[in-house]
Amino acid sequence: MTQDTHDRRTVLECMVWAGTGLLWTIAGGVPQSSLLGIGEANAQAATGFNFLQISDSHIGFKQAANPNPLGTLQEAVGKVGTLTTRPAFMIHTGDISHLSRPAEFDDAEKIISSAKLDVHYVPGEHDIVDEGRGADYMNRFGKKLQAQGTGWYSFDHAGVHFVGLVNVADLKAGGMGSLGAAQLAWLADDLKSKSSSTPLVIFAHIPLWTVNADWGWGTDDATQALDLVKRFGSVTVLNGHIHQIMQKVEGAVTFHTARSTAFPQPAPGTAPSPGPLKVPDDKLRSVLGITSIAVRQGTQPLAVIDGTLA
Amino acid sequence: MIDRRSLCAAGAILTLVLLSQQARADEAAVKIDNFTFIPETITVKPGTVVKWTNEDDIPHSIVGTDGKIHSKAIDTNEDFSFTFSEPGTYNYFCGLHPHMKGKIIVAP
Ligand SMILES: [Cu+2]
């Protein structure tokens, strides 16, 4: 598909594919080689914009599944400069660091900032295990983002409303991810003034749908958040945490999880636990990656395209 | 009637018993493997030091449901110890992966 033959109908087809799980076909069939690993959504630049999702960089991880996550983060960020359509900004869906150590955050920020894009972060559970239980994250990232509570906030870009949520704090025994009453109340208030035709992008670390309860891959009170977005015509939910691509469409809501830039995790039910998955060294980059999201005007689903580091 | 000497001997024996209990009963180990506390439940005497060792490639933590225990993140091959002085049942979970649960029963 070239830009010339790229009429409105083909754009819609691409988006429908992206929205129904056939994304795999696109991701596999898109000319990734010519795009250095990041499949770019076929952009209609005049009416929309692209942004990137990066996730689970786990700087500080040292185990066999990837002894050099800083190197692979560098490779991922290095691809940003090669894109033909410059992304408007980047979101990072958490687990920036492995153990919330200052040096890990420093290293991650140094590389991520080299993309010269605004970065909208949300914390993963690995980013709030400092003594202050997330105080360092808030000082480094939350303040800049004018975040509230444990790090939630919203912003608008070109008519799209973005909401960054935190579902990794104050977790309860036996539970999964949790948003908590205070954040849900804030979300209700935040969305109140938005018209139903406003496209919404909601991002958080742990999936906001239950991918696998046994492994804690879900958010206990996600339903309450999703009830609040029911009246909206286009909702895209972007998560990380599970280090692999999963997608689900439910009405107007498209759920999508991104790959990690550090190491893969097993598919549900294929391993005794969700711990890091060691793959042969020459396969590692094919299971790491970042995600490019193209936003069109209107209430159509966003085109979500995953690219690997291979 | 108890004379002074036998009282003294009893005291000495009691001291010995207490000392030997202290020397032997005070450590218990819990292994963290495959996102599971092994064993999930242990029963220990008051004063026991319970030591958790993480054998996973991902950090875990120990958080008591009563809020009294809150470990730092325990990285791969690291450990965390806590002394259980008072009898009772202590439920705990992993602060990073709360579906991981365990229990320490402290009974005399
Ligand atoms: Cu854990």
- pLDDT tens digit sequence for A42-86: 333 335 899 999 999 999 999 999 999 999 999 999 988 888 889
Q: Which of B31, B34, B91, B60 is nearest to A129 (CA)?
A: B60
What is the pLDDT at residue A303? 84
Kindly provide the ipTM of the predicted complex, given to two decimals.
Answer: 0.82
Determine contact: B72 vs chain A, CB below 8 A.
yes
Cα maximum dimension of chain B: 65
CB contact under 8 A, B97 and A272: no
Q: Where are the domains of chain B?
A: 26-106
Q: By the 8 A CB rule, do A305 and A292 touch? A: yes
Q: Where are the domains of chain A?
A: 3-296
Judge whether residue B24 has pLDDT over 50. Answer: yes
Pairwise pLDDT comparison (A13 vs B93), residue with the higher score: B93
| Structure confidence at residue B3 as a pLDDT band (50, 70, 90) | low
Q: By the 8 A CB rule, do A261 and A281 touch? A: no
Alpha helices in A20-174 (DSSP H): 23-29, 69-80, 102-112, 135-137
Going from the Cα of A121 to the center of ligand 1, the distance in angstroms, rounded, reads 22
Cα A143 to chain centroid distance, Å, stands at: 20
Going from the Cα of A19 to the center of ligand 1, the distance in angstroms, rounded, reads 33
The pTM for the full model equals 0.84
- Classify domain A3-296 by CATH architecture: 4-Layer Sandwich (3.60)
Q: By the 8 A CB rule, do B93 and B71 touch? A: no
| Residue of chain A whose Cα is closest to the Cα of B34 | A273
Determine contact: B61 vs chain A, CB below 8 A.
yes
- pLDDT tens digit sequence for A216-232: 999 999 999 999 999 99
- HSE-CB of A258 using CA atoms within 13 angstroms: 35
Cα-based torsion angle of the residue sequence B43, B46, B47, B53 in order, rounded to the nearest 10 degrees: 20
C-alpha triplet A156, A6, A38: angle, nearest 5°: 60
Determine contact: B57 vs chain A, CB below 8 A.
yes
φ and ψ of B7, to 5 deg? -60, -45
- pLDDT tens digit sequence for A267-303: 998 999 999 999 999 999 999 999 999 887 655 678 8
For the domain spanning B26-106, the CATH number is 2.60.40.420
Around ion ligand 1, residues with a beta carbon closer than 5 Å are B 60, 94, 96-97
Determine contact: B59 vs chain A, CB below 8 A.
yes
| Residue of chain B whose Cα is closest to the Cα of A277 | B57
